[in-house]
Each structure stands twice: as structure tokens, then as C-alpha cells.
Amino acid sequence: MAGAIVDGGSGVNVINKTTCDRLGIKKWDACPFWLRMADTSTVRPLGLIRHLDVIIGGYTFQISVGVLQLDSVGAYPLLLGRPWLKTANIKQNWNKNVLTFRKGKSKIRVSTKEKITTSRQCLPIHAEAVNMMEGLDETEEKHYFNDNPKIIPLFEVDIVQALTPYVEEQPDTVPVDEQTLKEIRLQQEACEKEMLVSQRVQASSLEELNLAEDDLESQPKAILIAKDMRYEDKQKLKDLLKQYKDVFAWSFEDMKGLDPAFCQHQIHLNKFSSGDTG
């Protein structure tokens, strides 16, 4: 078959319908997927031929191919994509345009020509399952159900209303006895006491340091440091923090690169107002 191409960028094998007509192939299965083409368009294959015998280098391979109607410039009779390349374990020499594969102990080399120019709308990238969640238009839906006759279409149904007669009413609250309520309250009180103790311990181990204490006209710039540090270490830390106090953002004005998603000033106006103040 002259003009067949090998495309490692295609996730499917494809045969042109005109090739099927020439070979007398008239029957194929419904295709369960659509094809995303190189020009980003989506194409619905005419069908899927399973276990098609293809002879390459004197050896027969069984492949599955999607049937496409390719009438544009750059159409090809057959495209062998990654499924065949993986099955045959093909090694390609780009410099010599030679495909190499093994059958048993035999090593077969198949010469290929340089790349044939084809239209992007003829080159499939990968197969895509029909996304029923995103919905189909009327034409796509018609084609889909024609290709999949075993699927029964369901029209819009109010599921809640349909299932209501079969669902037993449940009380809004589950009755709890007094003893259980008492145990729950005791557990809540114990957790609250534990949190308060933890906060007090944490607060008692810290002391406040005002980095702007030498500047009487400046706003306080307070931070917390550990109270139980050695005196020498604490003095070194204080001197260091005071020396580099300008690297901290003490207010929103200091945060020049503040993300508007975090904080921004808004003026709430009536969107229906005409803006006329006369």
C-alpha cells in the first residue's frame, strides 16, 4: 500500500474510508471514542475495525484502526500510530529512514521515505471518550446513541422527586439521653481548660520587645521573643532586630507587593446608580 505513514505523535491507528472501499471493507464496529486532531478539532470516526490484518515487511500484524473520511489535501490511505509502534516494538533510524523490528529470531528492516506533508486536520493526536458530564449538542447526541445502541438515553428527571416515595423520613435530631449529654459537656469543658492552660503557658514564656523604643515619634513596632533566653543572647537578638527593623512590614503601607486577593480597599457603590449628583 503506497503512501501509508507512520506517526509516533498519534495515539491511534487510522484508515481512510476510500482505502476501505478499495479493499472491499464495508463493515465495522461502532467507535466508542472521538478523535482530537492536530488542528484541535474533534472528529467522530465512522467506525472501528478490530483485528485488521496488515502485512509489513512480509509479516502480518493485527491492529485496530479508526475509520475516517479523509477527502482534504494531504489525506493518506493508512496511518500507523503509537499502538502499532508499541506492539511491534519498532526502532526507527531517523537518519536512514529505516524501521526495525523483530519477529522471533529474525530482524526485519523496512525502508521508509521522507515525511509526507499532510494537513493538520487529517492528523489525529489521541482518542477522547465522550464526556457525558459536559453534555452533547443534539447532533452529537444523535450520533452517540446511533453508535452505541445498547445505551438507553435518559431524559431530564427530578431524581429527588422520583425517589421521595421510597425514602423513609428521618428525624432532624437523634434523641440523646441525659447521661450522654453530661459526658459530652464534661469533655468540652476539659478541652477548653486544656486550651486555656496552653495559651497561658505560651504567653508566660514570651516577652514583648518594641523595636521603635528609641524613636519617640514612631509608632510602636512590637514583636515577641523568648523570655528565658540568656541575657547575652537576648541583647544580641535585640540589637540585631533593631538594626534590621526596616525589613519588616509593620503596616499595609509597607507591603508594596500585597496581593489584592489578600487585601484591597474597596468603595461600595450602588451599581444601579447613574452617577448623576445634580
pLDDT in tens, the chain (278 residues): 777 888 888 888 999 999 999 999 988 888 877 888 888 888 888 888 988 888 887 888 888 899 998 876 678 888 888 888 888 888 877 778 888 888 778 888 887 776 667 778 888 888 876 655 455 556 666 666 666 666 555 555 566 666 676 666 655 555 667 777 788 888 888 877 777 766 665 656 778 888 877 666 567 788 888 888 888 888 888 888 888 888 787 776 776 666 666 666 677 666 555 555 54
Q: Could you tell me the sign of the dihedral formed by the alpha carbons of 58, 59, 60, 62, in that order?
A: negative
What are the residue ranges spanned by the domains of the chain? 5-145, 202-246
195 secondary structure, DSSP code: H
Q: Which fold, 5-145?
A: Cathepsin D, subunit A; domain 1 (2.40.70)
pTM for this prediction: 0.47
What pLDDT shows up at residue 11?
A: 87
What pLDDT shows up at residue 15?
A: 92
CA distance 69 to 30: 15
Number of H helices and E strands in the chain, helices first, is 6, 13
Question: How do 42-43 and 33-37 pair as beta strands?
Answer: antiparallel
Cα–Cα distance list, 18 to 24, 73, 84, 123, 128 (Å): 10, 14, 21, 16, 24
What pLDDT shows up at residue 61?
A: 87
Question: Closest Cα partner for 53 from 78, 21, 90?
Answer: 78
